[in-house]
Structure 1
């Protein structure tokens, strides 16, 4: 057993194979299991269930996947969740790029690295953790509820005025390129990458429809089976949609695609719409 710190949460990991400890080497914390926020382990059945690619993965690798699945599920108790995306940090701002496998997400991140050099850092190339951090520095378990007047009457508030922000954290699980660092950055924007048709120009467009954003991002998260945790995940997604802008980049994996995406760093990315913060529901 060993302990790690991921997204400022201490986790005790009970492992069967040494691979998981080697994978997490940069995140190992000097703490005892009793000091950790929670612990995870994987049964032989859970390990075998991760090997869904014709049985080609080793048991050690499958255990690492099963352990991370459990870590990400428990992270919901700490206002945090897995986003299947690559996150880069540029001048203190985090930009997340999500795409279907084979679309060119890694190629696009490589364009940022080549174009910006030391000004850009890959926080995580595949499976970062996003965590809501309240402005007061504590966990925002009750954030999203309507404010109350001194007389006890609920009033509408703007979600984009909530005191806090989402922070993207590096994790040991950072893709086959192994791009990532044990660091964090405030999330500034999320961009979905799509392949454009031959002859179609690269185009970056802002997503304004919350329903479309949620439909797209549902393909990039790990939805738990437990109803209470699933509700918590949906609440965090609603808060994410209200906190940062979303874009779609239709492109080919070329330097021109980087030029289009880089416009995000130059835009005024504040969300202007007002929302009713009642649970996970909202209104324009």
Structure 2
């Protein structure tokens, strides 16, 4: 498989893969610009991903995970953080919903799309990147956008981060960094095998939690989307 370059979070990365799946996955992010760094995979990477996987997966799929792991470990030094969550934009402002897998993040942002229609744009449904700039934090789409492949190659200012919890009644409240820290940290990719990158990740995580933070108790309804939006849209 030939090398190719992609541009994500305003950063160009050259990828030299073994299998073609990752090239197909990254088609919307291809570029001819000069890369900042290069990533390639080998048998050791595949074995590592196998050991961490929660099921049986093809080597070509495991390679996509290995490549992203290597990419985001490097990106922290450019003030870019990977956060597991579903990010959606309404009227040009993005909101990120995060929670452990299976809680209903994708279902919740689907309710936003159904309610807001053309006003809503999916940024990324699984592994968006947050980049810290002088004028704020911006959320980016990436090719790693979940099993339903929901996302766009866009950059949107991030206005709020919401921890989603299931509940019978819909409610939203502003929470402190201390309250949010355990859950948010668990949803941020932490390169534990690279000490320097880990330190930088924790520094960025601390800055990330200076954004407006919320806890949303919600059921599976459009009313939940309305509750979330009304609770977050006017906050600075």
The two structures have a TM-score, normalised by structure 2, of 0.94
Query: Secondary structure of the equivalent of 1:130?
Result: strand
> Offset at 1:265?
4.2
Post-superposition shift, 1:53?
4.2
Task: Describe the superposition over 1:167-219 as per-residue Cα deviations: whole angstroms up to 9, x where unpaired.
Answer: 000000000111001111000000111112xxx421111112x2222211111
Match of 2:18 in 1: 16
Give the CA RMSD over aligned residues: 1.3
- 1:97-246 paired onto structure 2 within 5 Å: 97-134=97-134, 164-196=135-167, 200-208=168-176, 210-225=177-192, 226-242=194-210, 244-246=211-213
Structure 2, gaps ≥5 residues long: none
Within the alignment, does 1:250 sit opposite 2:221 as a pair? no
Tell me what 1:91 maps to: 91
Unaligned runs of at least 5 residues, structure 1: 135-163, 271-284
C-alpha deviation, 1:266, in angstroms: 3.6
The number of residue pairs the alignment matches comes to 232
Alpha-carbon distance in 2 for matches of 1:235, 1:91: 30
Corresponding residue for residue 48 of structure 1: 47
Q: Return the offset for 1:262.
A: 1.4
- Contact kept, 8 Å, 2:86 with 2:126, in 1: the verdict is yes
Give the TM-score taking structure 1 as reference length: 0.79
Within 1, Cα distance between the matches of 2:153 and 2:215? 28
Give the greater-gyration-radius structure (CA): 1
Q: CA deviation at 1:79?
A: 0.4
Aligned partner of residue 113 in structure 1, secondary structure: helix
